[in-house]
Structure 1
Amino acid sequence: MSGVRFKERIRRKVLKDRGLIRTGQGHLEQAPDKAVDPNKTLAMRLIEARHGRLIEDLLSEGSLKECADLLGIKESTVSKWRLRLGLRL
């Protein structure tokens, strides 16, 4: 049974060396070039994609209320995200 783990480790290493990821059974795609910031949540990345700007720039604009209204989130969320990203004003 230990052969299964070995095969999977080798498979993952080969894909990583070639810059590929599995996207389904028998389907491979190029791995994304940019690394994902571990401090950013999925919601932060979605807001970045929707507005086309970095979340740090969006959170730095104006007061808590203005930011919350612009992004469509609660003021407490803006405050927590600023703290999480080191942007506390």
Structure 2
Amino acid sequence: MARRCELTGKGVMTGNTVSHAVNKTRRRFLPNLVNVTLLSDALNRPVKLRVSAAALRSVEHRGGLDAFLLKQDDADLSPLALGIKKEVRAVLAS
């Protein structure tokens, strides 16, 4: 399973661990991913996603999962999230 947020696309970053003697060693910065179940108001069902903690705050700030997905760029979303976004659009259009 990739270490990537399904809603924002946030992934692993790399950098250096710098010691007191200024020795540089490569390291990885991992995103804070959590498995959550979010409720979709349009679909009337829960959706399981692996998202970052920052994305959870963004979902709440934008007013729920449906509003977040409709506003988010398709390039950042995972294939699962894209499918959910398509379902939400279909339900809201009808």
Higher strand share: 2
Structure of higher CA gyration radius? 1
Larger helix proportion of the pair: 1
Q: What's the TM-score once normalised by structure 2's chain length?
A: 0.30
More RCO (CA 8 Å, sep 6+):
2
